[in-house]
Structure 1
């Protein structure tokens, strides 16, 4: 678990079992907010990512950012990419996640616009030993219910990213449908997708 600088902040927010509100969450210091997620108003502590997890997230973000820039040159709306970004899925009860990678429409910085589900085109979660259920069940349902069009679940082996499971939102059911799995060891070169933007996965860029 990530060590928090001072647990007195929790007592100042609420005694259990009252919910953390959006206003209380937004008042937290950044170093504390980065160490937690809020699910149905309750604090969920986030384990510190391993170096391999961080490397994979950074390299995936680099690939997505490069293709986002290419898409914008071709006329796509402004989009950007970030790692470990604060994503508001719901205000009541508060549901705030920090996906490993997110591709989203550019925000209005002058208005202080917060990243919400309606801005987000793709979220990526990298599975860690302790996050299997969260990434493959809990977040799969939460991101779908929030209306995020695309979700990728990424798995690692000892040499880097080895599997990318891709899901696309069925808006009629508000559930994700599995649209395919890219596997590093499959022949056929660099796989690609056309949505939410054209992306080519170069496995060599995702190795440690």
Structure 2
């Protein structure tokens, strides 16, 4: 039984190159599922998302777009090229407006990203909490938010991090439960209570 599965898979995607895939492969390999990410040269496939995941993204994107100055845009689930071997897809990115050059854009460069947001999923906890933040920090993305579900009412909690230029790592600057209020990368004040999530 296992043999047919392997055969079916190997006919769809080529054997990874010895040094792993590159960002170019991410955009040229045929038939990759939507939202495939490249992390350290490996292709990562996204499993189906919980409702919490998509509604929290909606809530934050709406709040970010309402507050964003003209020179910044909030985008959901777009590949960000960190280096040759890393092309993750943050759940939300805030990018410089000049990087949004048209409807056919399919990736952003790390230098154009001011904030990366990851909403933790059960299947991607280690990636969302450890691997991806480290890669975002190394690439110099100045702000990172980690969003998790918490409490009996299953409300989001947002941890806000800022890049420390000395250590090249993220430092936690705040933990927000019912209201996300921060001045970076621009002033935002978003109701993230369980009620706000239910209203979506």
**The TM-score by the shorter chain falls in which range?**
0.7 to 0.9
Residue of structure 2 aligned with 1:207, choices 175, 189, 197: 197
1:131 aligns with 2:124: yes
1:198 aligns with 2:180: no
1:103 aligns with 2:94: yes
After superposition, what is the alpha-carbon deviation per residue over 1:143-187, rounded to whole angstroms, capped at 9, x for unaligned? Answer: 111100000111124655431111000112111111110122xxx
Q: Aligned partners of 1:194 and 1:178: how far apart in 2?
A: 14
Contact 2:78–2:106 (CA under 8 A) maintained in structure 1: no
Aligned to 1:60: 60
Deviation at 1:101, TM superposition (A): 0.8
Aligned to 2:159: 165
| Shift in CA distance, 15/100, structure 1 to aligned 2, threshold 3 Å | closer
| TM-score normalized by the length of structure 1 | 0.79
Deviation at 1:191, TM superposition (A): 4.5
After superposition, what is the alpha-carbon deviation per residue over 1:177-205, rounded to whole angstroms, capped at 9, x for unaligned? Answer: 11110122xxxxx4421111110021357
After superposition, what is the alpha-carbon deviation per residue over 1:75-101, rounded to whole angstroms, capped at 9, x for unaligned? Answer: xxx21111111111111xx10101111
| TM-score normalized by the length of structure 2 | 0.82
Can you give the 5+ residue segments of structure 2 that lack an aligned partner in the other structure? 1-7
What's the C-alpha RMSD, in Å, of the aligned pairs? 2.4
SS of the aligned residue for 2:53 comes to helix
Matches within 5 A, 1:14-93: 14-15=15-16, 17-29=18-30, 32=32, 34-68=34-68, 71-72=69-70, 78-91=71-84
Q: How many residues align?
A: 186
Can you give the 5+ residue segments of structure 1 that lack an aligned partner in the other structure? 1-5, 73-77, 185-189
